[in-house]
Chains A and B, each alone.
Chain A
Amino acid sequence: MDDAGYERALAAHGDLVFGYALRMLRDPEDARDVAQEAWMRLWQHRHRVEEGSARAFVMTCAHRLCLDRLRARRSRPRAAEEALATLPENPAAGPDRRAAGRETARALETALAALSPRDRALVLLRDVHGLPYREIGDALGIEREGTLKAALFRARERLRARLVAAGVTP
């Protein structure tokens, strides 16, 4: 990948990497650090990474960096309400739908934040960001698609169970 390819990757996937780190860490400053480090690593290895694999590479970096921060407990999870205030509403939704979906979205964000990092990563990468199973497997270090799907399905059901427990109908 040349420098122009790197620029295109940053333009196309910059939000994805930052948004993923923000939801994983629930801390904008940590999310900034992780996103910056992930993009620096792609820059350092750009000559060995095809442009088509840039997203998988940078998301793998971002995921590992998030786990490092979570494991080291350097990242102190913010209070749910404070963290939620940093997340935007869906600009594609109209005012009515936005208002109606706000409570559901907040409930989803709260339930996501309460999942284990692995479950949260699975649901975020697949159901929020729509990444293909191959890239998710690379990022999470899960080789077999069957294993990955089974883990994803269980993560979804744990998320649903939290919503139901909170009195929210998905």
Chain B
Amino acid sequence: MTRRLTGCDVARRLLHESLERELAPAEREQLATHLAGCPRCRELRDDLPGLLAGLAALPTPAMPADLREEIRGRTVDAPRARAGRLALVAAAAVLALALGLWPALHPPAAPAASPDAVAAARQVRVALAITGRGLATAGERGLALSVEGALAPALARGSRAALGAALEPPAAIAAALLRPGPRSSPVKKEVSP
């Protein structure tokens, strides 16, 4: 059952409200009329500003420095987070090295590639596309995992052509895939990005 609001209830609400916003003229008049005849509400009116000022002046206890460090150690400074940062640097270094060495290791214009190499290259390129999205959106741990996952198929197959294809732009991939493989057969020259 809802309690019926009394004049004091309304006046007290208006007193609190008046500390946060300007009352409408009608509300001010209603409050003034009530206060004129109610000593208890006048006492509240006199006390509220000091009470709120006292509360606002209470200091906020500082988080202990060792607690802050403990939290950091379990979050942003956790070993896994640090490992993630290292993985990011390592992945960038591997990528740069591979791109730099590729022209020397692989002269262009090989005529054909094996179907396995083509399939592996496609897999790795898709995986690295996912990794690229991971770079943009995922955390460092996700990056490390996605790089590992992207390179695993190529490494398992031992396919240098496939790995190279994943690291090269589409034109270079097409050139690389033209080289004959151990079970060479004619393949289409176009490669899906």
Contact = CB atoms under 8 A, between A and B. Distances in A.
B68 A89 contact: no
Interface in A97-120: 101, 104-105, 108-109
A130 B52 CA distance: 11
A68 interface: no
Nearest to A109: B58
Given A40-B71, A153-B16, A130 B62 contact: no
A128 B74 CA distance: 29
Interface in B48-65: 48, 50-52, 54-64
Contact of A108 (B58, B60, B62, B63): B58
A90 B57 contact: yes
Nearest to B72: A10
A10 B68 contact: yes
Q: Which 3 A-B pairs have the closest CB atoms?
A: A170-B51, A18-B63, A19-B60
5 contacts: A10-B72, A15-B62, A18-B62, A35-B67, A36-B70
Given A32-B67, A156-B51, A170-B51, 19 more contacts: A3-B139, A14-B68, A14-B71, A16-B60, A22-B61, A32-B64, A39-B71, A47-B139, A87-B61, A92-B59, A93-B57, A105-B58, A128-B56, A130-B56, A149-B13, A153-B16, A157-B44, A163-B51, A170-B50
B59 A88 contact: yes
Given A35-B63, A157-B12, A163-B51, A10 B71 contact: yes
Contacts of A36: 67, 70-71, 74
Interface in A119-170: 123, 127-130, 149-150, 152-153, 156-157, 159-160, 163-164, 169-170
B187 interface: no
B75 interface: yes
A6 interface: yes
Of B56, B58, B67, B81, the most chain A CB neighbours within 10 A belong to B58
Interface residues of A, number: 50
B47 interface: yes
A53 interface: no
Contacts of B48: 156, 160, 170
- B: contact size bracket: 20 to 34
Interface of B: 12-13, 16-17, 44, 47-48, 50-52, 54-64, 67-68, 70-72, 74-76, 81, 139-140
A40 B74 contact: yes
B54 A170 contact: yes
A73 B70 CA distance: 26
Nearest to A170: B51
Nearest to A38: B71
Of B16, B54, B71, the most chain A CB neighbours within 10 A belong to B71
Nearest to A97: B57
Contacts of B57: 90, 93, 101, 105
Interface string A32-55: 100110011001000100000000
Contact of A15 (B44, B51, B60, B71): B60
